[in-house]
């Protein structure tokens, strides 16, 4: 539960920064950017580092998000 995870239909799993890149790849106007980030190793590492900093400081960042219910952690067990 320390980071976001994406489980693909084929069984692959992406976590943290790579999960963000994978989600961004599915957005209409940002998909091409995410595909370039995936291929470019330094940018991929930068994305992972930015994710870690954001995740580590998420409690400080919540004050900038207005009119949103608090995040609830959940887990689905098979």
Residue 44's CB is within 10 A of a number of other CB atoms, namely 15
CA dihedral over 49, 55, 58, 59, signed as positive or negative: negative
**Contact, 17 vs 44, CB < 8 A?**
yes
* pLDDT number for residue 76: 57
Domain ranges of the chain: 5-58
* pLDDT number for residue 63: 76
pLDDT, averaged per 10 consecutive residues of the chain (78 residues), comes to 80 86 85 82 86 82 72 56
- Name residues whose C-beta falls within 8 Å of residue 23's C-beta, 6 or more positions apart in sequence: 6
Alpha-helix residue ranges (DSSP H) falling in the chain: 16-25, 31-39, 41-56, 58-61
């Amino acid at each position: 539960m320390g980071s976001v995870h994406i489980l693909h239909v084929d069984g692959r799993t992406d976590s943290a920064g790579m999960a963000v890149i994978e989600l961004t790849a599915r957005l209409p106007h940002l998909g091409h950017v995410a595909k370039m980030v995936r291929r470019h190793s330094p940018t991929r590492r930068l994305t992972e580092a930015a994710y870690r900093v954001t995740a580590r400081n998420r409690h400080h960042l919540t004050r900038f998000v207005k009119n949103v219910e608090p995040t609830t952690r959940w887990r689905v067990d098979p």
